[in-house]
Structure 1
C-alpha cells in the first residue's frame, strides 16, 4: 500500500490563479482531492496559503517572466484573477494561457457585467453580451481569449458569470455607515447576488461536472432591487436605511465607478446550474443569511 506521502504526491495537480477570499473558501473543498497550487503576487501571503493546504507560488500575471515556472504545472485550473485596471483587453489572461498545458480543464470566474444594462429583463445564458464600460469589456475579452485557447488546445472550459458576492464579512456596512444614498424606486435597478460559500461550491461542481465550453449563471434566487438590498442589510444590523435620491441628483454625489453599478439593471435565471451541475444553494437568497444574523 502506498504511504500517505506518496499518495499526496500522486494526487492530480490543480492550480488556483488569484487565490483571494473565494480561493481560500475553495481550499477546504479541494485539498483532499488535489495537490493544490495557488498563486499570489504578495510574498507575505505565502504562509497563509501554506497553512490552508496549498503550495504557494509567487507570480504576477502582469509579468510573463514570473509565470514561466508554472508552465504545464497543472491540467486542472481555476482562474479567479481579475483583469488589469485599465484598457479594454485582459493581458493577464493572455499571459496565463501561454503557459497552460493542452487538454486542461478550467473554470473561469467572469462577471454578469458582460451583459450591460438589460432594463430589468429576466434572461438565461443564451443572451448576447453587451458590455457598456471598460471593466466589462475586459471581461468579455478574457472570455473570448479563453475560448480561443480552449479550441486551440483541446481544453474543457467553463465560464461562470458571477454577480455581487456577499458573505457575513462582505456586506455593505461601511457604505451604510457613511450614509451613501440609493436610488428612488422609480430609478432603482435590479441587482443579482451570490454568497461566497455558494460560489465556491458552484466552482467545484463546474470543475467536475460542467459541459465543455459552457456558460453558467452563478447567481442565487434573489429578486430584488439595489436599494432594497441595502435596506435589508441595514434592518438586519439595526442601522439607518440609506437616503434615496433621483438619479439626476445621485450622480452628483457618488463616484463614477459606483454610478456605473447603479446604471445597469438585470435579472439572471439560474436554472442551468441546478439542472446541469446539481447545485443546491446553501443561501438561496440574501435574506437567508440576514435572517441567520438577526437571530444571533
Structure 2
C-alpha cells in the first residue's frame, strides 16, 4: 500500500512518520524544490515540489501507483490546485481512500453553542468559504468516481514543537482575554489516530470533526502551561486593545463548542489527549516540546 500526501505540513508529516511502516512507499509534496530536497533527506520520504510555481513531472505517475491519498495543502486563490491539475489522474487511479484536511472554521460563529457534524456550515471569512467549496469539490469527486473521500475538520492543532509551552518559552504568546470566548484543540497524535482509523474503516462522503472533548478559553490554556513549566506568565490583555494580525483577530470572531462524537462512535477513536491538560502534561515530559 502506497501513500501520497499533497502538502507535508505539521499534521500530515506527523501522520506519515508515525504510520510509515504501514506503507511500502511514502511520497509527498512541498511548495519549493530546495525544501523538497532537504525534507527528503530529513524524513526518508520521496519529496516532490508542487505549488503555484512548481509541478514535479513525476507526480502524475506516482498518483497512478497510490492507494491512500491525503490532501493537506491549503486552497489557492482560485480553488484547489490539486484538483485543478490532477483531478483526472486521481479519478482514473487505483486510489481507494482520500482524506481532505479541513477546518472547523467552516462552521462559522455559533455564539459559544455546542455544534456537531449535523450543524450547517455557515463560514464567515473568505478563507473558510474557500475551504468549504474545496470540501464539496472533493466530496463530489468521490460521489462521481466511487472512491471513498472523507473530510476531516480539524480544530486548533498542537503537538511537539508547536504548542503553548514553546510560545511561553520563546516569549511569543499573549494572554488575551475575551469574555465568553472558547476554542477547541486537537493534539497532532490524535489527528493521526483518526486518519488511521478512517483508512481501516472508510466511508465515502463522511465528514468528521477532529477535536478534543473540552473547549476552553485561550488564557486558561496559557495559564495551565505556565503552571506546569514554571515559565513566566504574560500579563492579561483585553481583546479589544490587543495587537493582533487581521487573521488572528478573525479567529476570535468565531465562538463555538465542537463535539467529536462521530469519530468515537463510528471510527472507534479513543483520544490520547482528550483535553489540553493531558496534552500539555505529555509535552512537558517530551524533550521535543
1:34-84 residue CA offsets vs partner (Å, 9 max, x unmatched): 222222233343354366343333333665675544453313211111223
> In 2, distance between residues paired with 1:279 and 1:172?
25
Query: 1:195 maps to what in 2?
Result: 187
> In 2, distance between residues paired with 1:115 and 1:291?
30
Q: Is the 8 A contact 1:88 1:141 kept in 2?
A: no
* DSSP 3-state at the match of 1:39: strand
Deviates more, 1:152-161 or 1:45-54: 45-54
1:223-280 residue CA offsets vs partner (Å, 9 max, x unmatched): 3122212222233232343433444323xx2221110111211111111111111111
- Residue 108 of structure 1: CA displacement? 0.9
The partner residue of 1:90 within 67, 73, 80 is 80
* DSSP 3-state at the match of 1:22: helix
Residue 41, structure 1, aligned to residue 35, structure 2:
no
* DSSP 3-state at the match of 2:151: strand
Q: Is the 8 A contact 1:234 1:241 kept in 2?
A: yes
The partner residue of 2:90 within 97, 100, 103 is 100
- Residue 116 of structure 1: CA displacement? 1.0
The partner residue of 1:172 within 160, 164, 170 is 164
* DSSP 3-state at the match of 1:74: coil
1:110-136 residue CA offsets vs partner (Å, 9 max, x unmatched): 101101111111121011111111211
The partner residue of 1:182 within 176, 182, 185 is 176
Query: 1:254 maps to what in 2?
Result: 244
* DSSP 3-state at the match of 2:150: strand
> In 2, distance between residues paired with 1:28 and 1:245?
38
* DSSP 3-state at the match of 1:100: helix
> In 2, distance between residues paired with 1:29 and 1:254?
35
Query: 1:286 maps to what in 2?
Result: 276
> In 1, distance between residues paired with 2:256 and 2:86?
31
Unaligned runs of 5+ in 1: 1-11
Unaligned runs of 5+ in 2: none
* DSSP 3-state at the match of 1:224: coil
Query: 2:50 maps to what in 1?
Result: 59
TM-score by length of 1: 0.83
Query: 1:118 maps to what in 2?
Result: 110
* DSSP 3-state at the match of 1:281: coil
* DSSP 3-state at the match of 2:254: coil
Q: Is the 8 A contact 1:72 1:101 kept in 2?
A: no
Deviates more, 1:230-239 or 1:121-130: 230-239
* DSSP 3-state at the match of 1:182: strand
1:200-219 residue CA offsets vs partner (Å, 9 max, x unmatched): 12111112213211011111
- Go from structure 1 to structure 2 and tell me whether the alpha carbon gap of 1:254 and 1:41 turns closer, same or farther (over 3 Å shift): closer
- Go from structure 1 to structure 2 and tell me whether the alpha carbon gap of 1:178 and 1:197 turns closer, same or farther (over 3 Å shift): closer
Runs of 4+ in 1 over 4 A off after TM superposition: 61-67, 173-176, 293-296
